[in-house]
Amino acid sequence: MMSIDLSQAVFTTKYVLEGQSSMVHVSHDKNCDWQFFGKEQNITEENARVISLGEILKINPSVKQILRIRPNRKLCKK
């Protein structure tokens, strides 16, 4: 069973953090980095945020169900 490091840094946006957008795109890239994005496209550095995995779970506890996906995978919610 894979252990979950709640202090791991993850990428998201100010829109997800401020509750302006729900998470619809989740990526676990080949470097084992997690990305949690909303419906917005063309996110700039100004709108990007780095927070802990634990903070993402506070925003959306259901994310815990997908943390087993292997690196180099993406999930999209329609």
Going by C-alpha positions, the residue among 9, 6, 18 that lies closest to residue 54 is 6
* In 1-78, beta strands by DSSP E: 9-13, 25-28, 34-37, 48-52, 73-76
Which residues, at least 6 apart from 65, have a Cβ–Cβ distance to it below 8 Å?
none
**Residue-level pLDDT at 68:** 86
List the chain pLDDT tens, one digit each, 78 residues: 467 899 999 999 999 999 999 999 999 999 999 999 999 988 999 999 999 999 999 999 999 999 988 899 999 987
For the full predicted model, state whether its pTM sits above 0.95: no
**Residue-level pLDDT at 1:** 45
Angle, CA 59 vertex, CA 28 and CA 53 arms, to 5°: 40
**Residue-level pLDDT at 36:** 96
